[in-house]
Amino acid sequence: MPLLEISKLTKHFGGLTALNDVSFSVDRGEIRGLIGPNGAGKSTMFKNIAGFYTPSAGDILLDGESIRGHAPHEIAGRGVVRTFQETTLFQELSVFQNALVGCHLRARTNIVSAVLGLDGARQRAARQKAAEVLEFMGLSERRDQLASELPLGSQRALAVAIALASSPRLLLMDEPFAGMNPEETRQMMDLTRKVNDSGVTVVLVEHDMKAVMGLCRQITVLNFGTLLTEGSPEEIRNDERVVRAYLGGGHRL
Amino acid sequence: MGANKLTHVAGTAALLIALVILPGHLKYHHQDFIIFLTINVLVVVSYRLMTLTGEWSLIHIVMMGVGAYTSALLSKNLGVSVWLSIPLAGVSAGAVAALLSFPLFRMTQFYFLIGSFAVGEAIRLAWVYFVYPFGGSSGINTIPSPELFTIDFMEPIPYFYLVLAVVTLCLLILHRIENSRIGLTLHAVHWKSPLAESVGVNAWKYRTLAFIIASIFVGVAGALKVHYLGNVTPHQFGVGTMVFVLIWVIVGGYNTFYGPILGAIVLSILDEAFRAFEAIRPAIYGVLLIAAIMFMPRGLESVPGWFRERLFRKTAE
């Protein structure tokens, strides 16, 4: 059974159809690339999976169970966590505190325990997990810096660290390489592989074709809200329809 | 960090000792003044917990009224001991807040602010129109004082110590909440709600939680007020009073725990000091406000840091 199964997903915004009857599935342990020209519906797809939008029709199955229409925090509770397109961090908190927020699911407490300090063991476990993910993402030395003071590459790494702190099964990365220089991109690719090797299934939306081709064995292509094709990087690169979609297809050149 | 914490602890201890010694040396109406001031400190600090989630409400002072009416009715009509009716005031304000959170937290930001004002006014008008049990616009009179051995809590000094003890305990609890995991989560909900939700935070639940906790503590403050005054009317909890709370919090600064406390204390003392110039008192108050906002946009709380920086630079030179 695939980990994630998108079944005939449709999303309307008023008269606009952002996604039309899209189906695909992602196996456990994969790094899947989700590509397509601007406006193809990639981010809309992510928002539907992560619960920020409710699909107009169709279903989203995680491990065979429907998560359609659940609230974002519930879906996070089931192990599906997204990162954001713009680098989204708690700028005014330290790197460590950022990771600590990510530990919410293991650290959440009730008001009485919080006041009386009865949740010590939980909070220690959370701090340990936060330290672990920072170590994993190579941010240990920066743990007391403010998030806003980090260079771009480290900010992105921290965004992933926050997501990892919640121990996801499926990580949805929205344009993790946007605006990065080649060196930063290379480091982020290594980190993404490392995350994947640790047992997290990854789906990434990305425009940097080199990165996508380098990371993914399977790529799903969307165009105008519909599924255009799926295949290996080799197949996608040589698929005339994909090339046409990117070069402003529809019109014959 | 350590030295900073030490100065905070030392400062708090000094303030507490001063407050314990002070009242015996004051005139009668100044004793009254510090009782209400101490209660108002609890009002602003509980309000700050609410603002931690980024939502500013106009219903806070009405929740104080809910506590006040609860304690008044329980102790006067049902003969419940005041020692019990004060905590029950907090419970009932918290319960009302929990109910109201269903309609109110469908809104955020500006809409929430206006919504909270509308709901608050509706509650206040209910106190005016339902003469039984709320006593209409003249409210409830001859509310009993607490009784303990032979201590006369009608007198300001014993009552002040009672208020000081309750408010100190409440502030300790609020301070712990803010510095706990829950405080961190409230902060996360405020600044990056989608990011917090994406790692499993139920933002709605935390906004509600902050509203309920703030209401519980301001409900206790309301109860403390009525058992000293001996009466409660709907007019005590109007939006005019709420504006004062907002001014104290904004002028004091809301980025630190002590900011709103500073605001309430400094502005109340200034207001009291200009009592002699009754006719131009509001004007003086207004000028002070404008000056505070112009010259200290981050509030009175930024003043100690400013001095520290100056001092540090001097010694560095």
B195 touches chain A (CB under 8 A): yes
pLDDT at A253 over 50: no
Residue pLDDT, tens place only, A182-241: 988 999 999 999 999 999 999 999 888 889 999 998 999 999 889 999 999 889 888 888
Pairwise CA distance, residues A59 & A66, whole Å: 7
Note whether B129 and B200 are same-domain residues: yes
Distance from CA of A77 to the nearest CA of B (A): 6
Q: Name beta bridge partners: A25.
A: A5
Nearest CA in chain A to B203: A73
Which residue's entry shows tokens 């303030």? B15
Residue finishing a domain among B196, B216, B237: B237
- Segments of chain B with pLDDT less than 50: 1
Residue A76 CA: distances (Å) to CA of A79, B155, B199: 5, 56, 6
Q: Is residue B81 part of a domain?
A: yes
Note whether B223 and B312 are same-domain residues: no
Six-digit token pair at A207?
């425009």
Residue pLDDT, tens place only, A129-159: 999 999 999 999 999 999 999 998 899 999 9
Query: Counting one residue from A and one from B, how many pairs have CB atoms under 8 Å apart?
Result: 88
Residue finishing a domain among B237, B259, B293: B237
Which residue's entry shows tokens 């189906």? A23
Q: Provide the domain limits for residue B148.
A: 29-237
Residue pLDDT, tens place only, A10-59: 999 988 989 999 999 999 999 999 998 888 889 999 999 999 999 999 99
Contact A175, A38 (CB under 8 A): no
Phi first, then psi, for residue A100 (nearest 5°) are -65, -40
B214 touches chain A (CB under 8 A): no
Which residue's entry shows tokens 């409400």? B57
A122 interaction partners in chain B (CB closer than 8 Å): 181
Pairwise CA distance, residues B68 & A9, whole Å: 54
Nearest CA in chain B to A49: B198
Number of domains comprising chain B:
2
Of B173, B199, B213, the CB nearest to A162: B199
Q: Is residue B188 part of a domain?
A: yes
Asked if B200 lies within 8 A of A163 by C-beta distance, the reply is no
- pLDDT for B193: 84
Q: Is residue B14 part of a domain?
A: no
Which is it for the CA torsion A19, A23, A26, A31, positive or negative? negative
Asked if A101 lies within 8 A of B197 by C-beta distance, the reply is no
- pLDDT for A248: 64
Note whether B118 and B175 are same-domain residues: yes
Pairwise CA distance, residues B84 & B73, whole Å: 12
B202 interaction partners in chain A (CB closer than 8 Å): 71, 73
Six-digit token pair at B221?
């403050």
B192 interaction partners in chain A (CB closer than 8 Å): 88-90
Note whether B168 and B225 are same-domain residues: yes
Note whether B97 and B179 are same-domain residues: yes
Q: Is residue B309 part of a domain?
A: yes
Of A84, A111, A166, the CB nearest to B177: A111
Q: β-strands A65-66, A4-13: how paired?
A: unpaired
- Residue type at B30 in one-letter notation: H
A89 interaction partners in chain B (CB closer than 8 Å): 192, 195
- pLDDT for B131: 85
Six-digit token pair at B290?
């404008």
A52 interaction partners in chain B (CB closer than 8 Å): 194
ipTM of the complex: 0.84
Distance from CA of A27 to the nearest CA of B (A): 22
- pLDDT for A201: 95
Q: Is residue B296 part of a domain?
A: yes
Note whether B46 and B113 are same-domain residues: yes
Note whether B67 and B88 are same-domain residues: yes
Six-digit token pair at B317?
């030179």
Note whether B138 and B250 are same-domain residues: no
pLDDT at A72 over 60: yes
- pLDDT for B317: 56
Contact B154, B145 (CB under 8 A): yes
Q: Is residue B190 part of a domain?
A: yes
Note whether B242 and B225 are same-domain residues: no
Asked if B198 lies within 8 A of A72 by C-beta distance, the reply is yes
Q: Is residue B93 part of a domain?
A: yes
Note whether B62 and B158 are same-domain residues: yes
Distance from CA of A202 to the nearest CA of B (A): 15
Pick from A90, A91, A103 the residue to mutate for testing the B interface (most B CBs within 10 Å): A90
Residue finishing a domain among B184, B219, B237: B237
- pLDDT for A252: 47
B199 touches chain A (CB under 8 A): yes
B184 interaction partners in chain A (CB closer than 8 Å): 97, 100-101
Q: Is residue B15 part of a domain?
A: no
- pLDDT for B2: 57
Task: Determine the angle formed by the axes of helices B60-77 and B109-129, rounding to 10 degrees.
Answer: 30
Task: Round the average pLDDT of chain A to a whole number and report it.
Answer: 90
Distance from CA of B192 to the nearest CA of A (A): 7
Contact A26, A173 (CB under 8 A): no
Pairwise CA distance, residues A41 & A18, whole Å: 6
Asked if A101 lies within 8 A of B199 by C-beta distance, the reply is yes
Note whether B275 and B185 are same-domain residues: no
Pairwise CA distance, residues A159 & A157, whole Å: 5
Of A97, A102, A117, the CB nearest to B199: A102
Note whether B270 and B217 are same-domain residues: no
* pTM of the complete model: 0.87
Distance from CA of B216 to the nearest CA of A (A): 13
Q: β-strands A57-62, A65-66: how paired?
A: antiparallel
Residue B170 CA: distances (Å) to CA of A71, B12, B243: 34, 15, 23
